[in-house]
Amino acid sequence: MSDFREKLLANLDKTKQNASDLHHQYPLKTNDEIEDALFQNYRTEVAKNVCSKQPDQRQTETLIEGSPVDSYRYIPRFHFELPKSADSLAQKLREEARTLFLQKRSKELLDNGEFKLLWSLLEKHHSPPLVGDEQYINYENYCKVGMIAGEKFRRYLTATTFARLLASSSNPGKIGVISLFNYTMRKVWLQQTRIGLSLYDYTGQGFLSESDMESYILELIPTFPQLEGLEKSFHSFYVCTTVRKFFFFLDPLRTGRIRIRDVLTCSFLDDLLELRDEEIPKDAQELNWFSAPSALSVYGHYLNLDKDHNGMLSKKELIGYGSGTLTPIFLERVFAECLTYDGEMDYKTYLDFVLALENRSEPQSLHYLFRILDVEHKGYLTAFTLNYFFKGIQEELSAHRAEPINFDDVKDEIFDMVKPIDPTRITLKDLISCGHGETVVSILIEFHKFWAYENREVMVTSTASDDTHNL
């Protein structure tokens, strides 16, 4: 504080010669008012000097004991605005800088030759004895492999990696050679995929838009042996089919973008990259959404539903989907809530519809279906809502001349299954957490699912009788 006072007094002494000028300029001001004016001038000078100094200098200087003047100046900058769309030079510079950075990171990854070297070193320095046919390696030999292999390998052969694999090892003090090699391969594969995805992240914010993801998938097609026979005219439909699954599950709130991190950690990325394998069993291909047979099947069903061949689906055409027993009331709500064009559904909207109905137990699918069930847009379902959709089931029962079902019994059963926090309403959170969301939704929207649920005990007894007869 004393240093600051001395500086202030020294500055006031220097400015005293200007005091007489101020007296002449402001004859009505008192000496105290003139002194205040001089102090304000000096304070302004100090602030300007602080702004003009380098950040390192600012951090080492304290203007007032205990707290810097205008302390916000000392906070490091953490936000840098993206270049404006009109500034093409700055955008190009940013793009080039990101590309060079990603290329540099790509060169740091292990290539096929280096993987072969790693495997030979692990085999050479494994720690006997063999356990069955599997080789193991202890920490001493593990470190030796890292030293021999070189700097590029050490970032993969760390103490943390050894400890992580040791936790799941059945051999005390050792880890499996094949486990270590597979772990390293997967880590490199994930880094390669992240770099590949980041090349399409033009803003560098860690997100991909739908068009970014479409560009990525389109360029992947020629690299997948499993897609070699795919006709070029079908590529755009294949890309749409593939991208919709990523956005349906990773962007349920429909923000129009997905995080690269979420793409890397999602469970179905492996299914997509499985197409790099030369041979995949036929049954595995049918179960893989991204395989050529699966994509062709989904698109084929869409074409079969399109009776008037206008490339769109009406409510009348969509009623033939699946078992053909989705209630008209439910389909009416689908067309009311989902994006349509002149009252008809395009292929992209149809894909969301298919993904929701084929994965009814998933939270994202329940989110999609809950939005359709929530007729009143209140964020919860009431007895009125359940009755609204159950009328569609009752109409089907009447059409099939089946014995009518009392709605109150169905309502009580649904509330017993869900066990909502509020006993009078069911929220999306209740539906997801109860574990019976798929059953609840199915018995409200699809007649054959309701019929199967209603007669589940009879069906179980019939199955058991058949098994006994076969024995």
Q: Give the H/E segment covering residue 70.
A: none
345 and 295, same structural domain?
Answer: no
157, 141 Cβ separation under 8 angstroms:
no
Among residues 305, 338, 373, which one ends one of the domains? 305
Decide if 63 is inside a domain: no
The total number of structural domains in the chain stands at 3
Query: Do the domain assignments include residue 118?
Result: yes
The verdict on 367 and 256 lying in the same domain is: no
Do 447 and 334 fall within a single domain?
yes
Q: What is the pLDDT of residue 78?
A: 74
- Could you give the CA distance from residue 336 to residue 4 in angstroms, rounded to a whole number? 71
Interval 429-450 mean pLDDT: 95
Q: Is residue 154 part of a domain?
A: yes
The reply to whether 113 and 231 lie within a common domain is no
Q: 62 versus 165: which is more confidently predicted?
A: 165
Q: How confident is the model at residue 401 (pLDDT cuts 50, 70, 90)?
A: confident
Q: Is residue 164 part of a domain?
A: yes
Please tell me the predicted confidence (pLDDT) of residue 63.
Answer: 42
Domain-located, residue 71 = no
Average pLDDT for 383-404 = 92
Any idea which residue has 């349509």 for tokens? 340
Q: What was the pLDDT predicted at 58? A: 45
Token digits of residue 432: 């997801």
Asked if residue 267 is part of any domain, the answer here is yes
Q: Do 359 and 391 belong together in one domain?
A: yes
Residue 74 lies in a domain: no
* Contacts for 382 with CB less than 8 Å, ≥ 6 apart: 376, 424, 425, 426
pLDDT value at 450 more than 70: yes
CB of 360 closer than 8 Å to CB of 438:
yes
Mean pLDDT of the chain: 86
Are 385 and 353 in contact, with CB atoms under 8 Å apart?
Answer: no
Lowest mean pLDDT segment, chosen from 34-48, 54-68, 70-84, 353-367? 54-68
Q: Do residues 231 and 291 both lie within one domain? A: yes
Determine the Cα–Cα distance for residues 122 and 137; give it in Å rounded to an integer: 8
Both 279 and 344 in one domain: the answer is: no
Burial class (CB in 10 A: 0-12, 13-18, 19+), 422: exposed
What is the per-residue pLDDT for 202? 81
Q: What is the pLDDT of residues 156-200, one digit of tens each?
A: 999 999 999 999 999 999 999 999 999 999 999 999 999 999 999
CATH number at residue 217: 1.10.238.220
Q: What is the pLDDT of residue 10?
A: 60
Lowest mean pLDDT among 34-48, 139-153, 339-353: 34-48
CATH number at residue 397: 1.10.238.10
- Residues 328-376: pLDDT tens digits? 999 999 999 998 899 999 999 999 999 999 999 999 999 999 999 999 9
pLDDT digits over 227-274, tens only?
998 999 999 999 999 999 999 999 988 899 999 999 999 988 999 988
Residues 100 and 178 reside in one and the same domain: yes
Measured at the alpha carbon of residue 382, what is the angle toward residues 376 and 388, in degrees to the nearest 5?
70
Does residue 351 sit in the same domain as residue 256?
Answer: no
pLDDT band at 47 (very low <50, low <70, confident <90, very high): low
* Per-residue buried b or exposed e for 59-70, using 16+ beta carbons within 10 Å of the residue's own CB: eeeebeeeeeee
Q: Containing domain of residue 426, as a range?
A: 326-457
Q: Looking at the predicted structure, is the pLDDT value of residue 298 above 60? A: yes
